[in-house]
Amino acid sequence: MPTVAIVGRPNVGKSALFNRLAKRKIAIVHDQPGVTRDRISAPCLATAVPCTLIDTGGIGATLDDGFGAQVTLEADIAMQTANLILFVVDAHEGLTPVDLDLGAKLRKAQLPVMLVVNKVDDDKHVRATDEFSRLGFGDPACISAEHGRGMNDLTQRIDEIIKPLEGEIQEAIEEAEAAGIKLAIVGKPNAGKSSLVNAILNDRRTIVSDIAGTTRDAIDLPCDHGGERFTLIDTAGLRPRAKRDTSVEVFSAMRTERAIRRADLCVLVIDLAAGISAQDRKIAQEILKENKPCLIVLNKFDLYHPDAPMKARMAEATDHVKRELFFLSYAPFVTVSAKSGQAVEQVLKKVLAIKKGARKVPSTGKLNRMLQEAFQINPPPSDKRSAKRLKLYYATAAVEEKYSTIPVPTFVLFVNDKALMPASYEQYLANRLREFNPVAGVPIVFSVRSRDRREWDKRK
């Protein structure tokens, strides 16, 4: 989808505008400058044309270091990743030197920039917006994000700019279909991602170095195996947020996170010789959050207890993965040595096996019988306040195959009240479903919906 980035100096109302366009309270809104420290994104629900919002507030240097580095980094990120930039200024405080500096930076962007004057609560503030013409971005959109004033005009102007991109989006979808199975090769720096890609391709297509962080961009590399077309997305290693101290690293992290979202399957590469670290678990959590099929590649297996018998090494590796990545239990693993090419051919074979298994979706009848049996064996707990208990009326599986070559089914559960579904019981149902329909590498996703029993009987 097109991306709309919201930029501006601290405390001009970027987060309030973000929440208004997303129609959800996602970003924290506070009078104190710099409350938003992490970059956040969400679908825009206020526009007619689908797009993604990015709130760039708080990225870069801390506020104590001054605004210069932060403003520059925000502008760079917006210009690198967005299709439209919303440049937000404050009608109450008027034009500031920071606004002028940011405006000069944004004028260099090769994409549309819309000036948004926020906190225009009455006609007096509308007349005061003339001074912002010095920024050189034409007629501004005058709004009050807090009170919703001027939002219809703003969303219409956004639609007019991003509407022509729909044709480009369709072309991108067609290109994605031609790309075959898209595999995002992810992991922390120096885990051996580029070595694994080179070994699969049997060619030194990417730069390999002992220096962590050599790969900066997400590189798409096509290949064929077993009559199937693949696109390997070699990504930069994801470092902890606190250590992303340059704009280059921020861009690299953004591209890696985007690669995870657009991939059909994520290949999580782990340096087994060094062991599974906290950063490996964070990357695994990112894959889980996006509900992506996953294959774990335990690299450098030749260096893992090399003097021990093979059977003992495999047993130890299995225990290590189950213990450290228990929340990613649906993901199978393979042990390889990318540097020597040992067992690398197993990676794509396992991916094809995951793709084949993903199409084994239980029929509606079997799904309902299995879930009803699970409810009988272990009934859900009753709510302490209302004494009510969760009841399942009906279940079905929804599969959107056109969006991915490895579709992840969503199991839709129609119940009396979804608030009565505790997370522990949802996990129990997921475990039972996996026992009934064992599909390695594919997550189980539930969509629990409340429905009145009388309405349900009427519909039936």
Neighbour-count burial for 51-87, b at 16+ CB within 10 Å, e otherwise: bbbbbbbbbbbeeeeebeebbbbbbbbbbebbbbbbb
Lowest mean pLDDT, pick from 57-66, 131-140, 283-292, 386-395? 57-66
β-partners of residue 298 are 270, 335
Say which residue, 246 or 195, is predicted with more confidence: 195
Same fold, 179-358 and 364-459: no
Residue 267 and residue 295 in contact, taking contact as beta carbons nearer than 8 Å: yes
CA distance 196 to 181: 17
Residue 225 and residue 234 in contact, taking contact as beta carbons nearer than 8 Å: no
- Classified by CATH at the fold level, domain 364-459 comes out as GMP Synthetase; Chain A, domain 3 (3.30.300)
| Average pLDDT taken over every residue of the chain | 80
* Residue 349, pLDDT score: 92
CATH of 179-358, one of 3.40.50.300, 3.40.50.9100, 3.40.50.920, 3.30.450.80: 3.40.50.300
CA distance 20 to 203: 49
* Residue 406, pLDDT score: 87
* Residue 253, pLDDT score: 64
What mean pLDDT comes out for the span 267-284? 91
Nearest-5° Cα angle at 319, 317 to 320? 60
Name all contacts of 131-135 with Cβ < 8 Å and 24+ positions apart. 131/94, 131/95, 132/89, 132/95, 132/99, 134/95, 134/100, 135/87, 135/89, 135/95, 135/99, 135/100, 135/103
Tell me the angle at which helices 97-106 and 68-81 cross, rounded to the nearest 10 degrees.
Answer: 30
pLDDT band at 207 (very low <50, low <70, confident <90, very high): very low
What mean pLDDT comes out for the span 23-32? 55
pLDDT tens per residue, range 224-239: 877 788 888 877 655 5
Lowest mean pLDDT, pick from 8-12, 364-368, 377-381? 8-12
CA distance 442 to 67: 44
pLDDT tens per residue, range 330-344: 999 999 998 888 888
What SS3 state is found at 233? strand
* Residue 13, pLDDT score: 87
Q: What percent of the chain has pLDDT over 70?
A: 76
What mean pLDDT comes out for the span 296-324? 92
pLDDT tens per residue, range 347-370: 999 999 999 888 888 888 899 999
- Does the pLDDT value for residue 266 go beyond 90? yes
Neighbour-count burial for 194-213, b at 16+ CB within 10 Å, e otherwise: bbbbbbbbeeebbebeeeee
- Classified by CATH at the fold level, domain 3-167 comes out as Rossmann fold (3.40.50)
Residue 248 and residue 216 in contact, taking contact as beta carbons nearer than 8 Å: yes
CA distance 215 to 239: 12
- Does the pLDDT value for residue 437 go beyond 90? no
What mean pLDDT comes out for the span 133-161? 90
β-partners of residue 117 are 89, 142
* Residue 11, pLDDT score: 81
pLDDT band at 430 (very low <50, low <70, confident <90, very high): very high
What mean pLDDT comes out for the span 73-79? 62
Dihedral-angle region of residue 150 (phi above 0 means left; psi in -120 to 50 means alpha; beta otherwise): left
Domain ranges in the chain are 3-167, 179-358, 364-459
Alpha helices in 359-452 (DSSP H): 364-377, 423-436
pLDDT tens per residue, range 86-127: 999 998 888 988 888 888 888 887 789 999 999 888 766 666
What mean pLDDT comes out for the span 152-176? 78
Tell me the angle at which helices 423-436 and 364-377 cross, rounded to the nearest 10 degrees.
Answer: 130
What SS3 state is found at 335? strand
C-alpha distances in angstroms, 437 versus 181, 372, 457? 23, 15, 29
Say which residue, 10 or 155, is predicted with more confidence: 155
* Residue 59, pLDDT score: 34
Residue 255 C-alpha from the chain's centroid? 10
Measured distance between the N- and C-terminal CA atoms of the chain, rounded to whole angstroms: 37
Residue 34 half-sphere exposure, CB side, CA atoms within 13 Å? Answer: 10
pLDDT band at 270 (very low <50, low <70, confident <90, very high): very high
83 Cβ neighbours under 8 A, 6+ residues apart:
2, 3, 4, 51, 111, 112, 162, 165
For residue 201, what are its two tokens?
Answer: 């391709």
CA distance 447 to 404: 19
What SS3 state is found at 308? coil
- Does the pLDDT value for residue 5 go beyond 80? yes
* Residue 381, pLDDT score: 87
- Does the pLDDT value for residue 250 go beyond 80? no
- Does the pLDDT value for residue 31 go beyond 70? no
For residue 262, what are its two tokens?
Answer: 């657009």
* Residue 452, pLDDT score: 60
- Does the pLDDT value for residue 153 go beyond 50? yes
Tell me the angle at which helices 151-162 and 14-22 cross, rounded to the nearest 10 degrees.
Answer: 80
Residue 320 half-sphere exposure, CB side, CA atoms within 13 Å? Answer: 22
Q: In which residue are the tokens 């001009």 written?
A: 12
* Residue 453, pLDDT score: 55
* Residue 373, pLDDT score: 93
- Does the pLDDT value for residue 295 go beyond 90? yes
For residue 327, what are its two tokens?
Answer: 């929340």
For residue 92, what are its two tokens?
Answer: 């109450």
Residue 379 C-alpha from the chain's centroid? 34
What mean pLDDT comes out for the span 305-324? 92
User: Which phi and psi (to 5°) does residue 371 adopt?
Assistant: -70, -40
